[in-house]
Amino acid sequence: MPVSNTLLNLHWLTFTSFIFTFLVSTTLRAGEITSFTWSSGIASVALDPIVPPVAPNNDDIVGTSPNEIRITQKDYVGIGPVDIEFTVIPSGGVTEYLFTEGVQNGTGIPWTDYHMQLGFGVGSAFVPSPPGDGLDFDDGVSATSPFSFSPFTTVIVTEDDIDAFGGVIVSPSFTFPFVFHIDVPDGITTFTLRQYPTTDFIPEPSSLVLSSLALLAPASTRKRKKQMS
Ligand SMILES: [Ca+2]
Ligand SMILES: [Ca+2]
Ligand SMILES: [Ca+2]
């Protein structure tokens, strides 16, 4: 065999082994979350170490995904958004992750609602995830996996938003776990999970009147005592 043909065959062998290695490595790391950063002036955030998914590329799984990201605590000291940005290795698949999360209400204000939103970027640069881009809260009819936001009794899950309400998280208190799923697709390098509590707590008019009377009582009592003396 001519030397040129031997070199050609060697190059072809090297090229095909490179392609094989590339395909294997990307298949094993499909839609894998590798790290995170968080951004907020009103809360601290702690996550368990992120490990490779035990079942990568498992989109459309029915039931609870074995790929867990555990946000052990998010300690709010004010009402406002908390952005957690995840770094992703894109490949050729969609990996469905189970998220479990604890929230500490240290705001001094009772929460009546809790909201989650998927998107890209953080802070004022946050852009919501568009429909149909593969990044979603596993909202498919046949693919939906369990979610829970107890003590909130009503939870509305759409592709890129979760709104939970119908309950109250008092302050101070720690709630664990919120449970939800996220589909992490191919073709992105990061995505952001934005969260924020809200409150529609308004004191009853009757309790406001009672509070006003309680504040006035010592003054009027003093006035009457002065008139009697
Ligand atoms: Ca989306
Ligand atoms: Ca899914
Ligand atoms: Ca699912």
pLDDT digit string, tens, across residues 104-136: 999 999 999 999 999 999 999 999 999 999 999
Q: Are 68 and 175 in contact (CB under 8 A)?
A: no
Asked, for residue 215, whether it belongs to a domain, the answer is: no
Asked, for residue 138, whether it belongs to a domain, the answer is: yes
* Residues 90 and 41 both lie in one domain: yes
Structure tokens given for 12: 């072809």
The pLDDT confidence band at residue 141, using thresholds 50, 70 and 90, is low
* Domain limits for position 26: 1-30
Is cis: bond before 177, omega within 30 of 0? Answer: yes
**Distance from residue 31's CA to the centre of ligand 3 (Å):** 15
Asked, for residue 228, whether it belongs to a domain, the answer is: no
Asked, for residue 221, whether it belongs to a domain, the answer is: no
How far is 49 from 71, CA to CA, in rounded Å?
A: 10
Max Cα–Cα distance, the chain, nearest Å: 126
Q: Are 196 and 163 in contact (CB under 8 A)?
A: no
Other C-beta atoms closer than 10 Å to the C-beta of 55 total: 13
* Residues 115 and 180 both lie in one domain: yes
Other C-beta atoms closer than 10 Å to the C-beta of 80 total: 14
Is cis: bond before 172, omega within 30 of 0? Answer: yes
Asked, for residue 134, whether it belongs to a domain, the answer is: yes
**36 vs 206, residue with greater confidence:** 36
* Residues 42 and 154 both lie in one domain: yes
How far is 80 from 24, CA to CA, in rounded Å?
A: 43
**Distance from residue 227's CA to the centre of ligand 1 (Å):** 72
* Residues 22 and 87 both lie in one domain: no
Asked, for residue 211, whether it belongs to a domain, the answer is: no
Asked, for residue 171, whether it belongs to a domain, the answer is: yes
Q: Quote the number of domains for the chain.
A: 2
Ligand with smallest separation from the Cα of 62: 3
Q: Are 55 and 66 in contact (CB under 8 A)?
A: yes
* Residues 43 and 24 both lie in one domain: no
* Residues 174 and 74 both lie in one domain: yes
Ligand with smallest separation from the Cα of 160: 1
Task: Assign 26 to helix, strand or coil.
Answer: helix
**191 vs 201, residue with greater confidence:** 191
* Residues 22 and 42 both lie in one domain: no
Give the model's pLDDT for residue 121: 97
Q: Are 167 and 192 in contact (CB under 8 A)?
A: no
**Distance from residue 181's CA to the centre of ligand 2 (Å):** 8
Asked, for residue 197, whether it belongs to a domain, the answer is: yes
